[in-house]
């Protein structure tokens, strides 16, 4: 062993093949002690797979792993944990029916007495201490099932922190967090770093990479493209390393959507404790953004309109006709589609293949006398795969096996195919790489140009400012402000989102 070796982790010549996909090709990835090392690349580049190999969730076909210069054999997740490796997975690994504390300490519950009873009091106290450190007060006795996606993410992070690992990998931890939670996470990362922990940070938000990471490694198509100190690359360089070409980001023509024909009108909508007197109209061909802090009620509003949650009072009109939407099925039938923020819960059937997921919502359009026309179905799905650049070996691949971002694109395909008059996109580009992001924005614009009314829920203000025609800012369950794109700035939006008048 070389005494000068400062790498806490070396993954050398890692290769991993799945049926039909070579996910990693001879990848070498080394992380120093006490550094924050970004791992970036397009959807499907192999980031999560590399982390799963490290975590013992996948076995590599070839290659070796060294910790502090010593070769180790990581054959299962427990082994990885024992070696001081902790991973926050992109798709959560929580048990929905257990509570927050039970999830954090699952399999490592503190015990007391000679019989090894679980020391619940200590478990709750420890869980509270960790959440305190994260600065996010959560009820440690609440079942995880009842938490928002953002808070489930916090539980994942708490779980990783509780293991006091030497290497912590975070696979898109920021995707669901608010500014405030993100700030806390960054503080925690700095703290970990100070105590000599190495952090691997995966994110599609490049500002974060430049904000918090010392080093960046780029993967493309399962191959290592380069590793550089972050202060020696800029955004453009990084993007071109990721996509293998120059990319023109976010140049948008200002559209003039017609301000007549409201498709959707919502009046005096209330849901006790959640939504208060919501009034708005959505016009044909318009992209209307709902923005605000996480928890402001945007998703709750979407769910209420979509019939996923009951309302206490209020009226909804579609094309001027009063409608009483009691279920998502009914919403879809009358032409309202909703792409949920949590694609795992509502968006996809993981055990079905890409083709089935994409056409599930509107099989009628492909059927004659009750028989689905498979040839036509394959054609349609093939087009979506091409247009949305869904990286999959075939349309017959199980959705479970696609990378996170590519799953998100399948959700999109599904709703595009559903032929809706009103489409609600909830955080549509979360977890989507830079290249595909502008594709999705373009797609929303296309839909609007074709007369669809698009509602976009997004916390990413640059995205809102770039794509939306009109912006409604929510705060504590109310619409706090309305503005057109040309009058909107990040500062103005934040002012109202945080309760300013």
Ligand X SMILES: Nc1ncnc2c1ncn2[C@@H]1O[C@H](COP(=O)(O)OP(=O)(O)OP(=O)(O)O)[C@@H](O)[C@H]1O
Residues found near ligand X in the complex (CB under 6 A): 18, 21, 23, 41, 43-49, 90, 391, 401-406, 433
> Which option in Mg ion, ligand X, none does residue 41 bind, with CB closer than 5 to 8 A by kind?
ligand X
Half-sphere exposure of 121 (CA within 13 A, CB side): 1
Closest to Mg ion by CB, 282 vs 440, is: 440
Burial class of residue 434 in the structure, from the number of CB atoms within 10 Å of its CB (0-12 exposed, 13-18 middle, 19+ buried): buried
**b vs e for 372-403, b when ≥16 Cβ sit within 10 Å of the residue's Cβ?**
eeeeebeebbeebbebbbbbbeebebebebbb
Closest to ligand X by CB, 40 vs 454, is: 40
**b vs e for 86-112, b when ≥16 Cβ sit within 10 Å of the residue's Cβ?**
bbbbbebebeeeebbbbbbbeeebeee
> Which option in ligand X, Mg ion, none does residue 347 bind, with CB closer than 5 to 8 A by kind?
none
> Which option in Mg ion, ligand X, none does residue 45 bind, with CB closer than 5 to 8 A by kind?
ligand X
Closest to ligand X by CB, 44 vs 285, is: 44
Q: Which of 48, 99, 408, 459 binds Mg ion (CB under 5 A)?
A: 48
CB 264, CB 453: distance < 8 Å: yes
State the nearest-atom distance from the C-beta of 357 to ligand X, in Å: 14
State the nearest-atom distance from the C-beta of 83 to ligand X, in Å: 21
> Which option in Mg ion, ligand X, none does residue 46 bind, with CB closer than 5 to 8 A by kind?
ligand X
Nearest-5° angle of CA 10, CA 15, CA 18? Answer: 135
Rg (CA), the chain: 23
Closest to ligand X by CB, 86 vs 291, is: 86
State the nearest-atom distance from the C-beta of 135 to ligand X, in Å: 27
The Cα–Cα gap between 39 and 492 comes to 33
Q: Which stretch binds Mg ion (CB under 5 A): 2-10, 45-53, 263-271, 486-494?
A: 45-53
State the nearest-atom distance from the C-beta of 74 to ligand X, in Å: 17
Place of tokens 């992109």: 90
Closest to ligand X by CB, 174 vs 291, is: 174
State the nearest-atom distance from the C-beta of 389 to ligand X, in Å: 11
The string of DSSP codes covering 38-93 is EEE-STTSSHHHHHHHHTTSS--SEEEEEETTEEE---SHHHHHHTTEEEE-SS--
Pairing of strands 470-475, 287-292: parallel
The Cα–Cα gap between 429 and 460 comes to 9
CB 73, CB 63: distance < 8 Å: no
Q: At what angle do helices 374-387 and 404-417 cross, to 10 degrees?
A: 130
Q: Which stretch binds Mg ion (CB under 5 A): 98-106, 148-156, 264-272, 404-412?
A: 404-412
> Which option in Mg ion, ligand X, none does residue 162 bind, with CB closer than 5 to 8 A by kind?
none
Q: Which of 297, 404, 428, 453 binds Mg ion (CB under 5 A)?
A: 404
325 Cβ contact list (under 8 Å, min separation 6) = 305, 306, 307, 316, 331, 334, 336
Place of tokens 């009691």: 326
- The single-letter DSSP state of residue 451 is T
State the nearest-atom distance from the C-beta of 353 to ligand X, in Å: 12
Closest to ligand X by CB, 149 vs 318, is: 149
Q: Which stretch binds Mg ion (CB under 5 A): 82-90, 162-170, 204-212, 361-369?
A: 82-90
Task: Report which residue's Cβ sits closest to ligand X.
Answer: 405
Closest to ligand X by CB, 54 vs 302, is: 54
> Which option in Mg ion, ligand X, none does residue 43 bind, with CB closer than 5 to 8 A by kind?
ligand X
Task: Report which residue's Cβ sits closest to Mg ion.
Answer: 48
Q: At 110, phi and psi to the nearest 5?
A: -65, 140
Closest to ligand X by CB, 404 vs 477, is: 404
Residues 474-493 that bind Mg ion (CB under 5 A): none
The partner residues of 18 in beta bridges, in order of sequence, read 21
Closest to ligand X by CB, 138 vs 399, is: 399
> Which option in ligand X, Mg ion, none does residue 406 bind, with CB closer than 5 to 8 A by kind?
ligand X
State the nearest-atom distance from the C-beta of 67 to Mg ion, in Å: 23
State the nearest-atom distance from the C-beta of 88 to ligand X, in Å: 13
CB 60, CB 15: distance < 8 Å: yes
The partner residues of 424 in beta bridges, in order of sequence, read 338, 455
State the nearest-atom distance from the C-beta of 7 to ligand X, in Å: 22
Query: Which residues contact Mg ion (rule: CB under 5 A)?
Result: 48, 90, 403-404
């Amino acid at each position: 062993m070389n005494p000068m070796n400062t790498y806490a982790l070396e993954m050398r010549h890692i290769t991993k093949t799945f049926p039909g996909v070579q996910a990693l090709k001879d990848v070498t990835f080394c992380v120093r002690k006490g550094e924050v090392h970004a791992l970036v690349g397009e959807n499907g580049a192999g980031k999560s797979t590399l982390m799963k190999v490290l975590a013992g969730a996948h076995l590599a076909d070839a290659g070796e792993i060294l910790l502090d210069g010593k070769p180790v054999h990581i054959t299962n997740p427990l082994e990885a944990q024992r070696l001081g490796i902790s991973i926050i997975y992109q798709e959560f690994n929580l048990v929905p029916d257990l509570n927050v504390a039970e999830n954090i300490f699952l399999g490592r519950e503190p015990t007391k007495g000679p019989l090894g009873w679980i020391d619940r009091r200590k478990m709750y106290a420890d869980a509270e201490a960790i959440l305190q450190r994260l600065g996010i007060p959560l009820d440690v006795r609440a079942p995880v099932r009842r938490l928002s996606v953002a808070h489930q993410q916090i539980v994942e992070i708490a779980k990783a922190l509780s293991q006091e690992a030497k290497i912590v990998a975070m696979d898109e931890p920021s995707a669901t967090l608010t500014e405030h939670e993100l700030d806390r996470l960054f503080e925690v990362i700095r703290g970990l770093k100070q105590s000599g922990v190495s952090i691997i940070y995966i994110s599609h938000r490049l500002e974060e990479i430049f904000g918090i990471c010392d080093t960046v490694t780029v993967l493309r198509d399962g191959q290592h493209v380069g590793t550089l100190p972050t202060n020696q690359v800029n955004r453009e360089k990084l993007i071109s390393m990721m996509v293998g070409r120059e990319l023109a980001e976010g140049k948008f023509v200002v559209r003039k959507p017609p301000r007549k024909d409201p498709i959707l009108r919502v009046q005096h909508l209330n849901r006790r404790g959640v939504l208060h007197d919501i009034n708005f109209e959505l016009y044909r061909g318009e992209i209307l953004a709902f923005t605000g802090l996480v928890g402001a009620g945007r998703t709750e509003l979407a769910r209420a309109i979509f019939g996923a949650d009951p309302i206490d009072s209020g009226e909804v009109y579609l094309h001027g006709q009063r409608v009483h939407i009691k279920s998502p099925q009914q919403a879809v039938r009358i032409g309202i589609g909703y792409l949920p923020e949590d694609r795992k819960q509502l968006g996809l059937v993981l055990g079905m293949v890409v083709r089935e997921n994409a056409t599930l919502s509107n099989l009628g359009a492909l059927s004659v006398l009750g028989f689905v026309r498979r040839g036509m179905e394959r054609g349609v799905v093939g087009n979506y795969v091409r247009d949305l650049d869904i990286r999959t070996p075939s349309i017959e691949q199980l959705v479970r096996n696609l990378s996170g971002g590519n799953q998100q694109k399948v959700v999109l395909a599904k709703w595009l195919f559903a032929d809706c008059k009103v489409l609600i996109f909830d955080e549509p580009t979360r977890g989507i790489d830079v290249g595909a992001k502008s594709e999705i924005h373009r797609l929303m614009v296309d839909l609007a140009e074709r007369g669809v009314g698009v509602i976009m829920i997004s916390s990413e203000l640059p995205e809102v400012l770039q794509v939306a025609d009109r912006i409604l800012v929510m705060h504590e369950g109310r619409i706090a402000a309305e503005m057109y794109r040309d009058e909107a700035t990040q500062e103005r939006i934040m002012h109202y989102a945080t309760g300013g008048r």
